[in-house]
Amino acid sequence: MKQVIEGTKYPRTKQSIVADLRKMGVERGMTILVHSSLSRIGWVNGGATAVIQALMEAVTEEGTIVMPSQSVELSDPARWGNPPVPESWWKVIRESMPAYDPRYTPVTSALGQIAELFRSFPGVVRSNHPNYSFTAWGKDKNKILEPHSLAFGLGEQSPLGKLYNRESYVLQLGATFDSTTCFHLAEYKINYKKVISQGAPLLVEGERVWKEYQELEFREELFAEIGESYKTEHELKEGHVGSASCRLFSIKEAVDFAEKWLNQFDSIQNAKGRKDGS
């Protein structure tokens, strides 16, 4: 906190954040998928609460705010790698892990304080996916979140798929391209896919059930490079909200670009593999 205060020339407030969002191009009635870092905005009077209230004031109830609310800890321990757990633990973890409940299952800490607080705000709803849920507030929140397919939870039958099919935008509030969730949707559209088995505990008619389902093996490690390439070929709205470097861009445009980029990347990798094997 001391570093945040020292790095802030003047207190950020709900009012100043609304003004900054307007300058960024956030308008009344917009649908935005928000990725955020509270600390990068600077010292905010009211913290995450003020940022969320500012977002709501900027888009109003005529628009819709969506945030990722992933709970990736609710997953098969056999696939944990950072860190892994002993194989002798897997059975007891699967049998005792608390079931996903959209009312109180926490958002994974990597998504930050704003995403965690947003899920409990009045009027906010959350989708029912145990790993890849989203939260939303505003006019079209239910249309975007429901239903949310268990299998392939970031694909065409997910909130991302619905955001792609309407005029929606990504708003990066101090966040970087390596956390751009919409790029996952492109992974479902490309030629190369690796399907894996996942699992998570769900509540089915009030009873805890361990459910297995199909998912893709994601390649988030490519997202930063995709984003930088996208930025050089398309005009993004860029600016600052408080101290945070921010971007506003079309979800459909970004996903289409990522699909093209990934297909080209895989073609190059396959050609290299054939050459090395010859």
Whether the pLDDT of residue 5 is over 70: the answer is no
pLDDT in tens, 13-60: 999 999 999 999 999 999 999 999 999 999 999 999 999 999 999 999
248: helix, coil or strand? strand
Provide the domain count of the chain.
1
The verdict on residue 211 lying in a domain is no
pLDDT in tens, 233-261: 998 999 999 999 999 999 999 999 999 99
The verdict on residue 264 lying in a domain is yes
In this structure, of 5-19, 55-69, 78-92, 264-278, the range with the lowest mean pLDDT score is 264-278
The phi, psi pair for 64, rounded to 5°, reads -140, 135
CA-closest candidate to residue 174, choices 67, 72, 250, 248: 248
**118's tokens:** 């947003």
The verdict on residue 193 lying in a domain is no
pLDDT in tens, 21-32: 999 999 999 999
CA-closest candidate to residue 131, choices 87, 188, 80, 84: 80
Question: Would you say 108 and 100 are in contact if contact means Cβ atoms under 8 Å apart?
Answer: no
- Could you give the dihedral angle defined by the CA atoms of residues 72, 220, 83 and 86, in that order, rounded to the nearest 10 degrees? 80
**207's tokens:** 């009873």
In this structure, of 6-20, 69-83, 179-193, the range with the lowest mean pLDDT score is 6-20
Round to whole Å and give the CA distance between 76 and 153.
15
State which residues form the domain around 162. Answer: 2-71+102-187+220-277
The verdict on residue 87 lying in a domain is no
Please name the residues in contact with 111: beta carbons below 8 A apart, sequence gap of 6 or more.
67, 68, 69, 70
What is the end-to-end Cα distance of the chain in Å, rounded?
A: 57
For the chain, what's the residue count? 278
Other CB atoms within 10 Å distance of the CB of residue 76: 19
Alpha helices in the chain (DSSP H): 2-6, 14-24, 38-41, 47-59, 90-96, 112-118, 141-145, 159-164, 183-189, 223-233, 251-277
Q: Looking at residues 102-121, what average pLDDT do you find?
A: 95
The verdict on residue 114 lying in a domain is yes
Residue type, 44: V
pLDDT in tens, 199-225: 999 999 999 999 999 999 999 999 999
Round to whole Å and give the CA distance between 65 and 19.
17
Round to whole Å and give the CA distance between 120 and 105.
11
The verdict on residue 267 lying in a domain is yes
The phi, psi pair for 7, rounded to 5°, reads -90, 5
Whole-model pTM: value is 0.94
Confidence of residue 104 (pLDDT cuts 50, 70, 90): very high
CA-closest candidate to residue 236, choices 250, 225, 224: 250
The verdict on residue 86 lying in a domain is no
The verdict on residue 192 lying in a domain is no
Q: Looking at residues 149-173, what average pLDDT do you find?
A: 96
Residue type, 266: D
Per-residue confidence (pLDDT) for residue 158, from 0 to 100: 96
